[in-house]
Amino acid sequence: MKYEKDIILTINKKLFEDMKNCVENSSPNEACGLIFGKIVEHKKLNSENEYSYYFNGYKFECIESSHKSPVAFLMDDYEKLIDLSKKYTKQFQLLSIFHSHPGTAYPSGVDIPYMRKYYESGITKFKHLIWTIINAKSKELNGFIFILEELKQISVQINEK
């Protein structure tokens, strides 16, 4: 899988702890949730047209999966999703869909078609959505994004603050 070095998801330790708690509380099933925050564009030094994009996560909401399974998740509580959208979108935007896997932090064969569907949906807020996946055992966290018709891994940084 290719790596996109100019897109970075940053979260703080508290948010990461909330994500890990979500996984523990959902065990043995997959956990899922949403990360809200802001995207900041930084112009690269010594360049006129090159930028880095920081997806800064500030809020995490664990969502109970509608599909209780150790190998799949489903967010179809539309009322809750609408409530969360109203709660956060005045200050933040949806940055990432989060979920856990029992033994890996990489997209499964089931994940990838859904990731592509969101990318191709035509809905602007889903066009550059990051998918964060955590290994339920090791707590390794990775991020992925569809960009230019291709799935790429991105850097996830956990800050002390």
Q: Identify whether the C-beta of residue 116 lies closer than 8 Å to the C-beta of residue 146.
A: yes
DSSP state of 52: E
Residue-wise pLDDT tens digits, 35-63: 999 999 988 888 788 899 999 999 999 98
pTM confidence score: 0.90
- Tell me if residue 14 falls in helix, strand or coil: helix
**Tokens, residue 66:** 């509608």
Q: What is the pLDDT of residues 91-128, one digit of tens each?
A: 999 999 999 999 999 999 989 998 998 888 888 777 88
Q: In terms of DSSP H, where are the helices of 89-123?
A: 111-120
Distance CA 99, CA 73 (A): 8
Q: How far is CA 145 from CA 64, 114, 127, 130, in A?
A: 23, 12, 9, 5
The span from the CA of 118 to the CA of 128, in Å, is 9
Q: State the CATH number of the domain containing residue 62.
A: 3.40.140.10
Residue 161 one-letter amino acid: K
Give the range of the structural domain holding residue 37, as residue numbers without chain letter. Answer: 2-159
Q: Do 84 and 61 meet the contact criterion of CB atoms below 8 Å apart?
A: yes
Alpha carbon 139 to its chain centroid, in Å, reads 15
- pLDDT mean over 25-33: 91
**Total structural domains within the chain:** 1
